[in-house]
Amino acid sequence: MPKHASLDRLREAAARVAGTYGLEIFDVQFRREASGWVLRVILDRPESRPGEAEETVGIEDCQRVSHDLSAVLDVEDDLTAGFDRGYTLEVSSPGLDRPLRGEADFRRFAGRLTKIVTGTPVDGQSHFAGRLSGVEDGHVLVTEGRRVHRVPIAHIKRARLDVEF
């Protein structure tokens, strides 16, 4: 496993490359999978301004960043010095069922369907599914039918958007 500092430097390099295309880094992971070690760079678009349509990260975006980042990794040997094994570079988007991390994401995706799991039960419940209604006083508001759940952000273990068709 690469040292934490190596992963941080790699994240910075990936952010520079992604930034040239108006993108940002959502996550960088280095993990063992069935196919071997994978260096996964997950791209996102900055939050759109009010009134603008939400743009997604497309395949072409991933291809461009993958190509450029691969070239940077080939040239700047010190970026992968902490990686003591071969790996596959994978560049992708967070996906339709993207994880939600923090208050900014809950605000950004208000109006969308979500699934939330808490580490501590809230009103006897630890799984919530419904429409994000906003954020208020450190609580995520989730509307399920006629009921509005107030889920403390501090208790959220994981949250994802739910795919709507």
pTM: 0.81
What's the rounded Cα separation, in Å, for the pair 33 and 88? 10
Final residue in a domain of this structure, among 60, 92, 124: 92
When divided into structural domains, the chain yields a total of 2
pLDDT tens digits for 106-164?
A: 999 999 999 999 999 999 999 999 999 999 999 999 999 999 999 999 999 999 999 98
Residue 97, domain member (yes or no): no
Q: Answer yes or no: do 43 and 87 share one domain.
A: yes
Are 42 and 70 part of one and the same domain?
yes
Asked whether the beta carbons of 87 and 36 are under 8 A apart, the reply is: yes
Does 29 fall in a domain? yes
Partners of 79 in the beta sheet? none
Task: Count H helices and E strands in the chain, helices first.
Answer: 3, 8
Domain of residue 134, residue span: 102-161
Which residue, of 51, 66, 92, is where some domain finishes?
92
Are 29 and 86 contained in the same domain? yes
